[in-house]
Amino acid sequence: MPSTAPRLIRSARLLDAAEARIASEFTAPPPPQNALTTEALLALAHEYLPAAMIVTHTTPLRAADVAALPDCVKMVATVSVGLDHLDLAALHARGITVSNTPDVLTDCNADLSMMLILAASRRAAEYFTLVKTGWTRPLGLSDMLGQRVTGKRLGIVGMGRIGQAVARRARGFDMDILYHNRSRLPPELEAGATYYATLEDMLPHCDILTLHAPAQSSGAPLMDARTLALLPRGAVLVNAARGKLVDEAALIDALRSGHLAGAGLDVYQHEPDPNPTLVGLPNVFTTPHTGSATVETRTAMCMLALDNVAAFAAGQTMPSPVKA
């Protein structure tokens, strides 16, 4: 590698293709065997004195952590779209450039959302449990009936890249697309979807509701007892965006009462230790925050993080900077 190769550390081992690139294009210590704690990452930064750090959501950098970074650190590249684990204000106040990895995970997140929609509507968790624990008699005509997805009204909260990708997939099931967004999309992106300026106006019309919005700045859940009650009885809720968007106590009540027929969840208020009552409900289909968990997407995310580091080191425009 050239003597001017950018000097970096990472909080976790990246995928093989990205590790091979690090070995050939960057100056870096061996990858950690296990994801580093924030404390271990800070210690490594002081030992190795890198110009850039690559982190994931498992290694948060809060204000006190940012203050403890050595002055040599000029950039933090996170292998994620979400930034909840970073104190952006503290990083930018120290003049540290930040990048993330948007766009490359849009399709896989949309694919997972459709899986959650189908699984929650068709009672996949209950079917799986029945077969695995002992399916001993044929099901009658009225036993364990799910809900058809084809032709249903799908409400999308947050019509950004992922929301639009979900809408494209849902049209393959002849679903009517409704959406609520901070602003209305132009007609070519709306593609016939029905826009609602307020969430409250849209919810009564949704057979299935899928969330693709960032967490609210206030920290309050978007879907609480009041907003869940606005959904039609028998509706299905899907959340593959942020756990903070849903009041889980209210969701449990809605699922137990039958107001909601089911839920498909990839994210939770508390990770990696979600509410056992919630995930134990038979009408909840769960995945462990794996929206981007494919070889193709995770590799692309790692490579984009390295693209950002390389561009920053060369004084070039980064592909995906996070603005102050």
The active-site residue out of 39, 200, 271, 296 is 271
Give the Cα separation of 99 and 102 in Å (integer): 9
- For the question of residue 188 being annotated catalytic, the response is no
- For the question of residue 94 being annotated catalytic, the response is no
Give the Cα separation of 303 and 295 in Å (integer): 12
Give the Cα separation of 269 and 24 in Å (integer): 40
Give the Cα separation of 119 and 204 in Å (integer): 22
- 130, 146 Cβ separation under 8 angstroms: no
Give the Cα separation of 150 and 76 in Å (integer): 44
Give the Cα separation of 88 and 308 in Å (integer): 17
The active-site residue out of 180, 242, 248, 298 is 242
- For the question of residue 242 being annotated catalytic, the response is yes
The closest of 248, 243, 245 to 288, measured between CA atoms, is: 243
Q: Looking at the annotation, which residues are catalytic?
A: 242, 271, 289
